[in-house]
Structure 1
Amino acid sequence: MIRIENVTKTFTLHNQGGAVIPVMTGAELVVAPGECVALTGASGAGKSTLMRMIYGNYLAASGRIMVGDVDVARGDPREILQMRRHVLGYVSQFLRVVPRVPTLDVVAEPLLAVGVPGDQARERARDLLGRLRIPETLWGLSPTTFSGGEQQRVNIARGFAHEFPAMLLDEPTASLDAANRETVLGLIEEAKARGAAIVGIFHDEAARDRVCDRVVDVTGFSPQVAA
């Protein structure tokens, strides 16, 4: 479902005379449906960079990044947007939403975007918000007013609302209490059971051991190591 082949990434420092910094070379990864792969490595090794390339936020310098039948490294913006809408979900650490939109609609939006009727989309949103212990009294308010922990749980609910065939998870259990951590791990297990291919960053080792089938150390893709 997710296939990365010989991917290279560089950054150009335009404020330093256009210096080109190689940050990743020869990256290879295959994630099958129903499999969860954890990216590991020291801070700065390239875990987040690789996730952002899979999502299309960073452009690969060379190689292929296949998500379903879309090559993210070569796809045009319209293809990337369609892929994000229908195929690849991304649960980041930060909630970015339009102010004044009620929380219920924030969570339902990914379903509405793919044509799910409004009543069904909001019912799914209610279920997820309830499971993640967001008080019903808050559902009509904008999550921009919420605490950091509440925003994280809204972000998780939004990310799991649509049954994406592939998912990217960036520290999904960070800073959660035991009950909500258990809920999130359950959501990941449910996604795997229905066949989602998942790539994630998990600094929570116990969570990683429970839900991840393999660990890939991205340090092996460092240009210094590859050399």
Structure 2
Amino acid sequence: MIDIRDLSKTFTLHNQGGAVIEVMRGASLSVLPGECVALTGASGAGKSTLMRMIYGNYLAASGTIIVGGVDVARAEPREIIRLRREVLGYVSQFLRVVPRVPTLDVVAEPLLAIGVDRDTARDRARALLTRLRIPERLWSLSPTTFSGGEQQRVNIARGFAHAYPALLLDEPTASLDAANRETVLTLIEEAKARGAAIVGIFHDQAARDRVCDREIDVTQFTPGLAA
């Protein structure tokens, strides 16, 4: 489902005379349906950079990123949009939504985008918000007014609303209390059971041990850090 071969990435510092910084070289990994792979390595090793390249936020310098048959490294913008809508979900650490949209609709939106009827989409959103302990009195409000922990749980609910065949998870259990952490880990296990291919960053070792099948140390792909 996810297959990465010989991936590299550079950044050009235009405000520093156009200096080119090589941040990743020769990254290769595969993730099968039903498998969760953790990206590990020291801060600055390139974990988030690799995730952003898989999602198409960063353009690769070379190599291939095949997700659901689409090479993200070379795909047209419309192909990336379709991939994100139908195939590839991303739970980031930060919730980014249009202000004033009710929380219930924020969570239901991924289902509405693929043609699920409004009632069914909202039912799924209600179920997830309930599981993640977002009080019903908040569902009609914009999540932009919520606490950081509440926003994180709304972001998780939104990311798991549609049964994406592939998922990217950036610290999904960070700062959660024990009950909500357990819910998130169960959601990940359910996604694996239905065949989702998952790439994640988990600084929580116990969470990593529970849901991840393998670990990939991205330091090996980082020029200057690789042994």
* TM-score by shorter chain over 0.5: yes
**C-alpha displacement at 1:223, in angstroms?**
1.9
| 1:215 aligned partner | 215
**C-alpha displacement at 1:226, in angstroms?**
5.6
Name the SS for the 2:54 alignment partner: helix
Matches within 5 A, 1:40-189: 40-189=40-189
Name the SS for the 2:224 alignment partner: helix
The 2-side partners of 1:144 and 1:30 are apart by: 36
| 1:31 aligned partner | 31
How many residues are treated as equivalent by the alignment? 227
Q: Deviations over 1:152-200 (max 9, x none)?
A: 0000000000000000000000000000000000000000000000000
The 1-side partners of 2:46 and 2:130 are apart by: 35
**C-alpha displacement at 1:82, in angstroms?**
0.3
The 1-side partners of 2:128 and 2:50 are apart by: 28
With over 3 angstroms needed to count, the CA separation of the structure-2 counterparts of 1:174 and 1:225, relative to structure 1, is closer
| 2:192 aligned partner | 192
The unaligned stretches of length 5 or more in structure 1 are none
Name the SS for the 1:89 alignment partner: strand
The 2-side partners of 1:155 and 1:47 are apart by: 20
**C-alpha displacement at 1:146, in angstroms?**
0.4
Q: Deviations over 1:13-45 (max 9, x none)?
A: 000111100000000010000000000000000
- Name the aligned partner's letter for residue 171 of structure 1: E
- Name the aligned partner's letter for residue 128 of structure 2: L
The 1-side partners of 2:63 and 2:112 are apart by: 34
What is the RMSD computed on CA atoms of the aligned residues? 0.8
| 2:15 aligned partner | 15
Asked whether the 8 Å contact 1:25–1:226 carries over to 2, the reply is: no
The 2-side partners of 1:98 and 1:74 are apart by: 29
Asked whether the 8 Å contact 1:102–1:140 carries over to 2, the reply is: yes
**C-alpha displacement at 1:224, in angstroms?**
2.6
**Following superposition, which runs of at least 4 residues in structure 1 exceed 4 angstroms of deviation?**
none
